[in-house]
Amino acid sequence: MSTDPYILAQEAAKALKSATGLESFDVALVMGSGWVPAADAIGQTLSEIPVTELPGFAPPAVAGHAGRVRVTRTEAGRHALIFLGRTHLYEGRGVDPVVHGVRTAVAAGARTIVLTNAAGGLRPEHQNIGDPVLISDHINLTGANPITGATFIDLTEVYSKRLRALVREIDPSIGEGVYVAFRGPTYETPAEIRMLRTLGGDLVGMSTVLEAVAAREAGAEVLGLSLVTNPGAGLVGEPLNHEEVLEVGRATATRMGVLLAKVVDRL
């Protein structure tokens, strides 16, 4: 196994192709918390393996919770690579394992990366719990970056305008927002939430931005979708616990899965 993260991704892509018997993939989707139950609605499962069977994927942070990677065939015959779970920066393994799935997917042929997450809403006045929101842009407050060295990547349009327009054609009720990422694993203080609103954030979470940057570096087109599962700390009521996040995901699974299936078939 290589110690170079880019070569390691090529090795993982090769292993993925041989494990699945497929030579290429049309799209990859990363299913964040709340989105895993939506995966079944995207299409027919052709194969599924624990990511740890591929080079470079981190072992599970919690025993029995290894991420899995599934190959799905959509109704229109597209092949989607679906990551069920992701590695987060707060796990403390550094930035390379966080973006390894995206780099592997692009190395395996995916030209489109769909990044999903569950997020806190910073604008509860016009966001409902259980609503999907298109990520229009991000503010990276993780303190990390997946790229090292003088590689100056343009981030003017991280989240593809074309793909956002496509999603709104499918469901015009979906709004857009700026996603702010912290490293976590703590949620924010109420003062931090007020700061993020002043900074122009609409959503807050602990994922997605590093993967989006790695995908842009690799030349892929990115679609970002947040599922709002709680209002930011101090805005209204109490912050949700993780079980409530999963419950919101189960309640919205069909809507989110049908939406993703339509997106994949119209890419």
Active site residue 48: no
Segments in 200-241 forming alpha helices (H): 209-217
Measured between alpha carbons, how far is 209 from 143 in angstroms, rounded to an integer?
11
The binder of ligand 8IG chosen from 57, 83, 179, 182 (CB under 6 A): 182
Residue 210: half-sphere exposure toward Cβ, Cα within 13 Å: 27
Residue 179 binds ligand 8IG, judged by CB under 6 A: no
Residue 35 binds ligand 8IG, judged by CB under 6 A: no
Residue 90 binds ligand 8IG, judged by CB under 6 A: no
How crowded is residue 210: how many other Cβ atoms within 10 Å of its Cβ?
Answer: 23
In Å, how far are 34, 52, 124, 222, 248 from 237, measured between CA atoms?
21, 39, 11, 33, 17
* Of residues 74 and 116, the one with the C-beta less far from ligand 8IG: 116
Stretch that binds ligand 8IG, among 90-98, 112-120, 169-177, 257-265 (CB under 6 A): 112-120
* Of residues 23 and 243, the one with the C-beta less far from ligand 8IG: 243
The binder of ligand 8IG chosen from 124, 175, 184, 234 (CB under 6 A): 184
Out of 11, 125, 157, 188, which one is annotated catalytic? 188
Measured between alpha carbons, how far is 211 from 159 in angstroms, rounded to an integer?
12
Asked if residues 32 and 67 have their Cβ atoms less than 8 Å apart, the reply is no
Cβ at position 256, least distance to ligand 8IG in Å: 14
Binding mask 223-242 for ligand 8IG (x = CB under 6 A): ------xx-x----------
Residue 245 binds ligand 8IG, judged by CB under 6 A: yes
How crowded is residue 110: how many other Cβ atoms within 10 Å of its Cβ?
Answer: 25
Assign 120 to helix, strand or coil: strand
Measured between alpha carbons, how far is 214 from 42 in angstroms, rounded to an integer?
24
The binder of ligand 8IG chosen from 26, 188, 211, 221 (CB under 6 A): 188
List interacting residues with ligand 8IG (CB under 6 A): 118-120, 182, 184, 187-188, 204-206, 229-230, 232, 245
Task: Point out the residues that are catalytic.
Answer: 188
